[in-house]
């Protein structure tokens, strides 16, 4: 199954950092897991304006499953004013801080995903601190500092169900291609733990499966 025309149109209008080839890989993995017997919601760390959420949400919606997407909506270091990926349109003029929540809301409404995607606003460690459910597919695309990535690994990855998927974005083996935190603090530790095997690579997206 492909993304339907309506969701494609919304995707084309949605700001974000997920190239279509990677989104499709995420979509196919989500479809497979949603049709499998692996229970639990899909969890995304790092919603931003909801680009990747459309792909995950479309797969979940078709199977009657849920997605939980977590973000404090204040942006990562590299998306703050003065940094390479900054977009002044997502700054709230009242606070002068980034606020991507209204954009996410608009994406979920336009893509008809309000009944499939639960948007949680909070820091990833705070949300993880009240989380106890098994996760069928975890997509980590949040803070890319070493400490944040390590915290995401330690606090979220243990919840991935046996047979479940761990998807990691912005994994670069070579420092000249990009930041090393997702590679060093999430991807490597997951493989080195012996609990995960790599299933596929698309761009900087890595898909692992828990044994």
- Residue numbers of the site for ligand SAH (CB under 6 A)? 16-18, 46, 48, 51-52, 70-76, 100, 123-124, 141-143, 148
Q: 57 by DSSP, 3-state: which?
A: helix
Q: Which residues pair with 196 in a beta bridge?
A: 210
Q: What is 26-50 written as a DSSP string?
A: HHHHHHHHHHSS--S-EEEE--TTS
Closest to Mg ion by CB, 44 vs 141, is 141
Asked if 144 is an active-site residue, the reply is yes
72, 73, 144, 169: the active-site residue: 144
Closest to ligand SAH by CB, 30 vs 39, is 30
Q: Which residue is nearest to ligand SAH (CB)?
A: 16
Type and span of the H or E element at 200: strand 196-202
Q: Is 141 in the site for Mg ion (CB under 5 A)?
A: yes
Closest to ligand SAH by CB, 41 vs 46, is 46
- Picking from 136, 150, 166, 124, the residue whose alpha carbon sits closest to that of residue 59 is 136
Q: Is 185 in the site for Mg ion (CB under 5 A)?
A: no
Vertex 15 angle, CA 59 and 153, to 5°: 60
| Interface contacts to Mg ion, rule CB under 5 A | 17, 141, 169-170
Q: Give catalytic residues, as residue numbers.
A: 144
């Amino acid at each position: 199954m492909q993304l339907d025309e309506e969701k494609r149109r919304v995707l084309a209008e949605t700001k974000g950092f997920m190239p279509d080839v990677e989104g499709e890989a995420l979509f196919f993995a989500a479809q497979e897991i949603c049709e499998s017997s692996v229970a639990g919601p899909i969890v995304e760390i790092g919603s931003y304006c909801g680009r990747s959420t459309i792909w995950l949400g479309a797969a979940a919606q078709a199977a009657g499953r849920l997605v939980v997407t977590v973000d404090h909506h204040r942006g990562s270091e590299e998306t703050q004013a003065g940094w390479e990926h900054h977009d002044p349109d997502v700054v709230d003029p009242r606070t002068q801080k980034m606020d991507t929540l209204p954009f996410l809301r608009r994406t979920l409404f336009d893509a008809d995903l309000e009944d499939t995607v639960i948007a949680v606003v909070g820091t990833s460690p705070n949300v993880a601190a009240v989380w106890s459910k098994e996760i069928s597919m975890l997509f980590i695309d949040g803070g890319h500092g070493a400490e944040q990535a390590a915290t995401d690994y330690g606090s979220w990855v243990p919840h991935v169900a046996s047979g479940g998927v761990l998807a990691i974005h912005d994994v670069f083996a070579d420092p000249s291609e990009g930041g090393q935190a997702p590679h060093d603090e999430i991807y490597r530790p997951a493989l080195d733990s012996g609990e995960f095997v790599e299933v596929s690579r698309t761009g900087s997206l890595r898909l692992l499966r828990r044994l």
